[in-house]
Amino acid sequence: MQLNFDAQGLSEFSLPPVDLASVTELTLRGNYLTRLPDEIGRLSQLRVLRLGYNRLTELPPSLAELRELGVLTLVGNPLRQFPRVVAQLPKLEVLSLVRADLTSLDGLSRMGELRHLALSHNSLVHLPADLADKLPHLQSLELACNRVATLPDGLGDCSELVELNVAGNELASVPDSLGSLRTLERLCLARNKLRRLPESLAALSALRELDVRENQLGRLPAGAVLWPALERLDVGLNQLESLPSALGDCASLRKLIVSGNRLTQLDGSILRLPVLEELWAGDNRLAAIPTSEAWGASLKTLCLHGNPIGKLGGTADSDLPPDHVQFWL
């Protein structure tokens, strides 16, 4: 049974007169609740509890009685402290504490089944050094829009991590240990203060999406083999003067964004990538359009807007992008 009390204007809540053992989902988002009733622990088969956008500052100890709970969302509640009681939920796999006014994770202890942890839009400044020990099966970590200045070396021990998002923090560097995350598929480091990326990141063989836009990067890792599974790369709004030649071997790359850098040329091997569909290279220092032999057959979108292109790379019509390419200066 699913119980939904979304946006009911509730300032208090009591369990309704139903068969409590049959309730598997309870939704109470968008109310004015400042506390949960102790009787919440009577929902012995509850698997999903959604409490977003209330006024909760703490959770009752009876929450620990929800032995079947797998999903708990507390988005937009002014908790201020990590709720210690959640560590007593043996089957919890998904925990969202987005916009919860958190300043630390001091209450975090071992949660053996947790797979997805969302902590974006808080005021966190650091992560526990032993995060991998406390969350051994973590697959997704969302930390966007906090105040994190350093990532612990131990983050590289999160051996099952698939997605890491630390956009919009205060990172000036990231540890070499991130290169050990061999299951990582999505990495977002956008809007930080990074001047370089460790060469070890070239070893992320499962990486499909890399977003490092709006940093201060002067170069990218230049391994002999670079991200064979990569499908989307955004390095826009950095200080790149060139791209690594190994990027021309990223045979899975479909979308490449290099806008807002200092590039003076585009390597033909990149343009000819077999499945590249979109190339955004506006606001660089390109002086010419690549000549006709450079165009890949799969390319559909090419943006060179805002470059000081004074003349085409050739004069014949064949030197212009093919008709199937959406192209503009």
pLDDT tens for 144-203 read 999 999 999 999 999 999 999 999 999 999 999 999 999 999 999 999 999 999 999 999
Show the DSSP H helices in the chain as ranges. Answer: 131-134, 268-271
In the chain, the amino acid numbered 161 is L
Does residue 26 surpass a pLDDT of 60? yes
Is 268:245 a contact under the CB 8 Å cutoff? no
pLDDT in tens, 246-300: 999 999 999 999 999 999 998 888 988 999 999 999 999 999 887 766 677 899 9
pTM of the predicted model as reported, rounded to 2 decimal places = 0.93
Is 269:294 a contact under the CB 8 Å cutoff? no
Alpha carbon 292 to its chain's center: 37
Is 236:211 a contact under the CB 8 Å cutoff? no
Q: Report the distance separating Cα 149 and Cα 173, nearest Å.
A: 8
**What pLDDT does 296 receive?**
77
pLDDT band at 317 (very low <50, low <70, confident <90, very high): very low
pLDDT in tens, 202-223: 999 999 999 999 999 999 998 7
Q: Supply φ then ψ for residue 314, to 5 degrees.
A: -160, 175
pLDDT in tens, 76-123: 999 999 999 999 999 999 999 999 999 999 989 999 999 999 999 999
Buried b (16+ CB within 10 A) or exposed e, 3-15: bebeeeeeeebee
Does residue 311 surpass a pLDDT of 60? no
**For tokens 């997805």, what's the residue?**
116
Q: Supply φ then ψ for residue 160, to 5 degrees.
A: -110, 5
Is 120:97 a contact under the CB 8 Å cutoff? no
Q: How high is the mean pLDDT of the chain?
A: 93
Buried b (16+ CB within 10 A) or exposed e, 72-103: bbbbbbebeebbeebbebeebbbbbbbbbebe
pLDDT in tens, 110-142: 999 999 999 999 999 999 999 999 999 999 999
**What pLDDT does 292 receive?**
60
Quick one: average pLDDT of 15-24? 95
**What pLDDT does 223 receive?**
77
